[in-house]
């Protein structure tokens, strides 16, 4: 079931949580709402679920106006940040809850409920914990039980609020891969909120970057990472180097300024550390002289910190291991850097 969000606004007192949000979640997709805390992403999720009412705008499920529809009738599954498992019920009763509260006529019988719970326990790979209480489970297990509970009523839409927020790094990694796999199997339209860009880029089909009550960009993980439409998205999705630029006179092209006093036209070039090329000899006039300040050789991509000799600004670079070994860089060495893949923005607001 697709979700259409139209012109949704929400204020809490003087605080604007959402400002005229428009968003289309196509049926069967896994969409991430990504943004810093206070960007309004959780509020948007709660409005879609019906747990919050918008001040203005409307929510449509499959084109059908649902803004006024009660939470109970929206057929959504919701996974809370801290799971909100019923602490006095066993895992079995937690998962069965959604089925047992259905009105008499629609309620599945006991055997059917048992079957469905067993099925879900199998799906979340926790077949043997039906009789345990939430307090006896690890964080990762609780999260999966919460997911099974949300799926038990066969929701048309699955909403997850910071689903991996309270877990440690390794369980997080494991669970998000598992969630991706699960989604590929059951294809329920899903929206999840996160402030972790890595998580959003790795798991989602589509990423919605939010900031200050507005949507900054919507796109596939590759699109938003490769072609951020504004400095905020660029900054939020990873490390970045800034180069003050000047025009070259030939159309839109800009080049980094190459000595401290050189006039800029106000434009700023954004370059990811992985797009900084390091070489021993100057290949062209665009190459900038720099000195190596520190090297962090461990990890998948060795990180090099450099200081530009012309402007004195510091630059972060990441090299593939192979290239790193080939160059054999030393601290204090003088090299040349060339920013590639530079995106130039004329800043119209402060980050």
Partner 1 sequence: MSNQSLAVAPTVSAALTEPKAVRWLLTGLALAFLALFLVVPLLAVFVQALEKGVGAYWAAIIEPDALAAIRLTLIAAGISVPLNLVFGIAAAWAITKFKFRGKAFLITLIDLPFSVSPVISGLIYVLLFGLQGWLGPWLKAHDIQLIFAVPGIVLATIFVTFPFVARELIPLMQAQGTEEEEAALVLGANGWQIFFRVTLPNVIWGVLYGVILCNARAMGEFGAVSVVSGHIRGLTNTLPLHVEILYNEYNFVAAFAVATLLALLALLTLVAKALLEKKVRHTVKSASKPIGVE
Q: State the residues that interact with partner 1 by CB under 8 A.
A: 49-51, 71-72, 76-78, 80-88, 97-98, 101-102, 134-135, 139, 142-143, 149-150, 152-153, 166-168
Alpha-carbon gap, residue 19 to 39, rounded angstroms: 10
Q: Is 266 left (phi over 0), alpha (psi -120 to 50) or beta?
A: left
| CB of residue 204 to partner 1, shortest distance in Å | 22
- Tokens coding 253: 């092209």
- CA dihedral 281→295→330→261, nearest 10 degrees, is 50
In the complex with partner 1, the residue whose CB is nearer, 144 or 206, is 144
Minimum CB distance to partner 1, residue 145 (Å):
10
Q: 303-308 and 314-318: which strand pairing?
A: antiparallel
Nearest residue (CB) to partner 1, 72 versus 181: 72
The distance of closest approach from Cβ of residue 13 to partner 1 in the complex, given in angstroms and rounded to an integer, is: 12
Least Cβ distance, residue 81 to partner 1 (angstroms): 8
Nearer to partner 1, 145 or 317 (CB): 145
Q: How far apart are the first and last CA of the chain?
A: 36
Task: Rank residues 148 and 207 by Cβ distance to partner 1 and give the closer one.
Answer: 148
- Contact (Cβ atoms closer than 8 angstroms) between residue 48 and residue 66: no
Q: Is 190 helix (H, G, I), strand (E, B) or coil?
A: strand
Cα torsion angle, 168, 33, 188, 160, sign: positive
Nearer Cβ to partner 1 (112/321) = 112
Taking the complex as a whole, the smallest distance from the CB of residue 137 to partner 1 amounts, in Å, to 9
Nearer to partner 1, 88 or 112 (CB): 88
Cβ atoms of 59 and 4 within 8 Å: the answer is yes
Residues 6+ apart with CB under 8 A from 335: 278, 279, 280, 289, 290, 291, 292, 306, 329
Question: Cα separations (Å) of 141 from 82, 138, 192, 218, 329?
Answer: 12, 5, 19, 32, 46
Cβ-based nearer residue to partner 1, 32 or 76: 76
CA distance 309 to 291: 7
Cα 225 to the center of its chain, rounded Å: 11
CB 92 → partner 1: shortest distance, Å?
A: 14
Q: How many CB atoms lie within 10 A of CB 170?
A: 9
Q: Which is nearer to partner 1, 173 or 229 (CB)?
A: 173
The distance of closest approach from Cβ of residue 88 to partner 1 in the complex, given in angstroms and rounded to an integer, is 5
CB of 50 to partner 1, least distance (A): 8
Q: Which of 221, 198, 199 is nearest to 208 (CA)?
A: 221
């Amino acid at each position: 079931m697709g979700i259409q969000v139209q012109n949704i606004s929400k204020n809490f007192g003087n605080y604007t949580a959402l400002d005229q949000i428009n968003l289309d979640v196509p049926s069967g997709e896994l969409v991430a709402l990504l943004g810093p805390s206070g960007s309004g992403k959780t509020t948007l999720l709660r409005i879609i679920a019906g747990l919050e009412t918008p001040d203005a705008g409307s929510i449509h499920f499959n084109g059908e106006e649902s803004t006024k529809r009660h939470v109970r009738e929206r057929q959504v599954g919701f996974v809370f940040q801290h799971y909100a498992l019923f602490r006095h019920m066993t895992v079995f009763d937690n998962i069965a809850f959604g089925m047992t509260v259905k009105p008499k006529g629609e309620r599945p019988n006991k055997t059917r409920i048992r079957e469905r719970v067993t099925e879900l326990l199998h799906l979340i790979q926790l077949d043997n914990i039906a009789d345990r209480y939430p307090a006896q489970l690890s964080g990762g297990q609780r999260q999966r039980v919460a997911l099974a509970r949300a799926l038990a009523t066969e929701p048309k839409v699955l909403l997850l609020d910071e689903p991996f927020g309270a877990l440690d790094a390794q369980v997080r990694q494991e669970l998000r891969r598992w969630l991706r796999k699960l989604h590929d199997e059951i294809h329920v339209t899903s929206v999840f909120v996160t402030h972790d860009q890595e998580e959003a880029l790795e798991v989602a089909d589509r990423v919605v970057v939010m900031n200050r009550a507005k949507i900054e960009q919507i796109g596939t993980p590759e699109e938003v990472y490769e072609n951020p439409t504004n400095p905020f998205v660029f900054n939020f999705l990873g490390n970045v180097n800034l180069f003050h630029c000047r025009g070259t006179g030939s159309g839109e092209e800009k080049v980094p300024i190459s000595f401290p006093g050189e006039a800029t036209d106000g434009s700023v070039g954004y370059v990811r550390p992985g797009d900084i090329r390091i070489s021993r000899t100057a290949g062209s006039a665009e190459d900038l002289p720099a000195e190596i300040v520190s090297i962090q050789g461990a990890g998948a991509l060795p990180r090099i910190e450099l200081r530009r000799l012309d402007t004195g600004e510091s630059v972060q670079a990441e090299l593939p291991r192979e290239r790193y070994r080939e160059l054999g860089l030393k601290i204090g060495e003088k090299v040349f850097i060339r920013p590639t893949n530079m995106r130039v923005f004329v800043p119209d607001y402060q980050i």
